[in-house]
């Protein structure tokens, strides 16, 4: 292959141009590094040496020397918020919002950070104002997420419904569960104040969003019972078995009271026993145990718990067995049984709590919404001991 003569003349020119470009890049890097405040480099050194407090002081000094360091303002503000210094984070991000030389993207970012500062500081009204301002912008989805969190903290369920339905993924299973619970919260409030028609309307909306809402069925039964329609209330509560039998324990007492009002106590008793046989539950066992103790005496309660213990051995069940045994035993044996019961009871307190499926938070009381992670219906009415028994 022959090489054209003019290529030999062009090669030195290409080398010269490459050398010149490299020199320009190097000079630019050196110039930019020299333009950085010395305190900025000092702060980086402190960060690398895991000295965050000294790093923050150095970065604050860098911002004071060169106010144009926008990204450093953002970094410092976020760092202050994570450390719990929300007042300093608010000041830092407010300075950014007030600057006139920011791009639209940077201004939206600054507003979002400021809203998070207010939220972390517990200033919900000011956080809400910021995120409402961000609706309809490029930060719309993020703003809706924070607004939903704010309205749930404030228990403003009507606004929470409006925001949840505006989210892009509002038709997913998760959001159907959440929105149905928002309607149930409104229904529960209306029912507590005897506004029955309003409660019915909210429950209708809850079922429209989620036909399998256990909580809506429970509240519907409460509403029907409050209106004196016990037979219909029983049907609403029975429907929970096909929705999620874990929650049957929550309506066990209601079911027995309703059967008592319609004069069919034994039918209610048999229904609860059938539920316990099909869906082992310590709370169901507890409800049946107290009914047997009151209506049939300690021996019947003892027989009930002994039968259940053979199928599902638990410490909480044993505690109930010993409670019945103390009352059924001869007087000379009660002291020894009571001693064993006290020992068992000391251990049952650790396994008698409810636990969130999502975050593992434990508490003695049942919650529809986990107090720790905020998940709806992630906190089933099952004691921690029952989680170990589930296959």
pLDDT at 38 over 70: no
Note the pLDDT of residue 185.
Answer: 96
Q: What percent of the chain has pLDDT over 90?
A: 33
Alpha-carbon torsion (247, 253, 255, 256), positive or negative: positive
pLDDT at 45 over 70: no
**15 CB contacts (<8 Å, ≥6 apart)?**
none
User: Measured in whole angstroms, how far is the alpha carbon of residue 273 from the centre of its chain?
Assistant: 34
Note the pLDDT of residue 363.
Answer: 83
Q: Evaluate whether 226 touches 187 at the Cβ level (below 8 Å).
A: no
Which of 250, 257, 248, 205 has the alpha carbon at shortest distance from 226?
257
**350 CB contacts (<8 Å, ≥6 apart)?**
384
Note the pLDDT of residue 28.
Answer: 39
Average pLDDT over residues 142-159: 93
Note the pLDDT of residue 47.
Answer: 44
Note the pLDDT of residue 26.
Answer: 36
Domain 171-272 carries which CATH code? 1.25.40.10
Instruction: Name the band, by pLDDT with cuts 50, 70 and 90, for residue 48.
Output: very low
Note the pLDDT of residue 84.
Answer: 84
Partners of 369 in the β-ladder = 376
Average pLDDT over residues 157-170: 86
Residue 111 parent element (H or E): helix 104-120
pLDDT at 354 over 90: no
pLDDT at 331 over 90: no
Average pLDDT over residues 318-332: 72
Q: Is 373 annotated as a binding residue?
A: yes
pLDDT at 66 over 50: no
Q: Is 370 annotated as a binding residue?
A: yes
Average pLDDT over residues 114-131: 91
pLDDT at 88 over 60: yes
Average pLDDT over residues 79-99: 81
Note the pLDDT of residue 197.
Answer: 96
Of the ranges 76-80, 234-238, 342-346, which one carries the lowest mean pLDDT score? 342-346
Average pLDDT over residues 307-313: 80
**Beta pairing, strands 354-355 & 362-363:** antiparallel
Of the ranges 7-16, 71-80, 125-134, which one carries the lowest mean pLDDT score? 7-16
**188 CB contacts (<8 Å, ≥6 apart)?**
199, 219
Average pLDDT over residues 284-293: 84
Note the pLDDT of residue 41.
Answer: 46
Average pLDDT over residues 214-236: 96
Instruction: Name the band, by pLDDT with cuts 50, 70 and 90, for residue 230.
Output: very high
**295 CB contacts (<8 Å, ≥6 apart)?**
265, 269
Domain 67-166 carries which CATH code? 1.25.40.10
Which of 295, 285, 217 has the alpha carbon at shortest distance from 259?
295
Average pLDDT over residues 29-58: 48
pLDDT at 195 over 90: yes
d(CA 233, CA 172): 30
Q: Is 184 annotated as a binding residue?
A: no
Instruction: Name the band, by pLDDT with cuts 50, 70 and 90, for residue 56.
Output: low
Note the pLDDT of residue 326.
Answer: 74
DSSP labels for 74-98? HHHHHHHHHTT-HHHHHHHHHHHHH
Top pLDDT among 10 and 227 is at: 227
Of the ranges 174-188, 225-239, 317-331, 372-386, which one carries the lowest mean pLDDT score? 317-331
Helix (H, G, I), strand (E, B) or coil at 296: coil
Specify the pTM: 0.74
Average pLDDT over residues 220-230: 96
Q: What is the DSSP secondary structure assignment for residue 68, as one 8-state letter?
A: T
Note the pLDDT of residue 19.
Answer: 46
- C-alpha angle 261/267/271, rounded to 5°? 115
């Amino acid at each position: 292959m022959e090489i054209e003569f003019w290529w030999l003349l062009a090669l030195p020119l290409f080398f010269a141009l490459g050398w010149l470009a490299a020199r320009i890049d190097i000079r630019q890097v050196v110039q930019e590094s020299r333009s950085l405040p010395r305190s900025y480099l000092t702060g980086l050194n402190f960060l690398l040496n895991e000295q965050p407090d000294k790093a923050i002081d150095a970065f604050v000094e860098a911002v004071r020397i060169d106010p144009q360091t926008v990204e450093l303002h953002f970094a410092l503000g976020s760092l202050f918020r994570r450390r719990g210094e929300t007042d300093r984070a608010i000041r830092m991000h407010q300075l950014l919002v007030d600057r006139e030389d920011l791009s639209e993207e940077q201004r939206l970012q600054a507003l979002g950070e400021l809203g998070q500062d207010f939220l972390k500081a517990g200033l919900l009204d000011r956080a809400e104002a910021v995120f409402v301002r961000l609706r309809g912008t490029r930060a719309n989805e993020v703003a809706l997420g924070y607004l939903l969190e704010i309205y749930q903290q404030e228990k403003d369920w009507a606004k929470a419904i409006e925001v949840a339905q505006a989210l892009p993924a509002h038709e997913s299973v998760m959001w159907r569960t959440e929105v149905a619970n928002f309607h149930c919260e409104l229904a529960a409030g209306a029912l507590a104040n005897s506004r029955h028609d309003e409660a019915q309307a909210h429950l209708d909306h809850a079922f429209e969003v989620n036909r399998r809402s256990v909580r809506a069925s429970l509240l519907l039964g409460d509403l029907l019972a409050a209106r004196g329609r016990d037979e219909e209330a029983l049907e609403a509560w029975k429907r929970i078995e096909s929705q999620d039998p874990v929650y049957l324990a929550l309506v066990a007492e209601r079911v027995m009271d309703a059967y008592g009002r319609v004069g069919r106590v034994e039918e209610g008793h048999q229904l609860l026993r059938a539920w316990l046989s099909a869906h082992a539950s310590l709370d169901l066992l507890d409800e049946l145990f107290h009914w047997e103790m009151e209506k049939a005496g300690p021996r019947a309660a003892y027989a009930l718990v002994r039968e259940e213990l053979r199928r599902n051995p638990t410490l909480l069940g044993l505690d109930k067995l010993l409670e019945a045994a103390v009352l059924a035993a001869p007087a000379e044996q009660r002291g020894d049984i009571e001693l064993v019961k006290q020992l068992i009871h000391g251990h049952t307190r650790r396994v008698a709590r409810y636990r969130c499926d999502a975050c593992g938070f434990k508490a003695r009381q049942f919650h529809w919404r986990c107090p720790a992670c905020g998940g709806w219906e992630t906190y089933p009415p099952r004691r921690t001991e029952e989680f170990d028994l589930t296959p």
